Amino acid sequence: MIILKTDDEIELLRQSNLLVGRTLAEVAKIIRPGITTKQLDKVAEEFIRDNGAIPTFKGFPNPYGLPFPATLCTSVNSQVVHGIPNDEPLKDGDIVSVDCGTLLNGFCGDSAYTFTVGEVKPEILELLKVTKEALYKGIENAVHGKRIGDIGNAIQTHCETHKYGVVREFVGHGIGKEMHEEPAVPNYGKRGSGTLLKKGMCIAIEPMITFGDRKVYLESDNWTVRTRDNSVAVHFEHTVAIGLDKADILSSFEYIEQVLEEKN
């Protein structure tokens, strides 16, 4: 069942999502070669709780009933999504997708950003650029009267034009009082197909794009998803509310990118 949100509920969703953006900005401040993803996780959890919210990923069960052990999903290089923070230091040239969720005032926030660590190869920077462009092309189609397939088709077309792989097994989702609601939001599809989009629907759009083949596998921890060919993967995510003329982006990369500009 798809739950349409009122304007007041959308504003509550916005507050939770802006907190995610501010949390990811705190992470951005300390990302560098030598830091561990577990250190990033500690900073994020403290910031979320200090702001009166709960990290929604922590304890969230997977299909095997295994609770996620951390606040952030930190997926490094060939890890696509759901990487578990650990004590291994990030290295110069790495990329790391940081996915974060919050629960504030009864509503969920969910957003992800892929960060560079030190000097990253130009071809990987291009993958980052194209994946982020694809996210916004998907968002351009998140309007009343279009369909879920229009979002996925826009993302898929842009990425496959650049010869990148579009992960099929993991998709975006509806969001509200629960982190994962209906409908599913694939990053591929046919224009004019799928669920009809209506004003008041709130969804998380999250392209997961690979430099090489799109095939992935689940690691032995039953959480971390990795590319089969060990090529790097990039993940960006925004939560949006479907609008009559254009989508209302409830999350924000502005806090993150302001920090990154100041660091450069």
pLDDT higher than threshold 90 for residue 6: yes
Q: Buried (b) or exposed (e) across 96-106, using 16+ Cβ within 10 A?
A: bbbbbbbbbee
Domain ranges of the chain: 7-263
Within 8 A by CB and 6+ apart from 102, the residues are 16, 17, 19, 20, 23, 48, 53, 54, 55, 56, 108, 109
Q: How many percent of the chain have pLDDT more than 70? A: 100
Please, how many CA atoms are within 13 Å of residue 52, restricted to the half-sphere of its CB?
6
Model pLDDT, residue 144: 98
pLDDT, tens digit, for every residue of 62-92?
988 999 999 999 999 999 999 999 999 999 9
The predicted-structure confidence for 154-168, as pLDDT tens digits, reads as follows: 999 999 999 999 999
> Taking 90 as the threshold, does the pLDDT of residue 264 lie above it?
no
CA distance 174 to 198: 12
Please tell me the pTM assigned to this model: 0.98
Q: For the domain 7-263, what is the CATH code?
A: 3.90.230.10
Quote the CA–CA distance of 187 and 205 in Å, as a whole number: 8
Instruction: Give residue 250's identity as a one-letter amino acid code.
Output: L
Q: Select from 211, 119, 123 the least CA-distant residue to 159.
A: 211
Distance CA 202, CA 205 (A): 10
What is the per-residue pLDDT across 194-252, written as a single tens digit (0 to 9) for each? 999 999 999 999 999 999 999 999 999 999 999 999 999 999 999 999 999 999 999 99
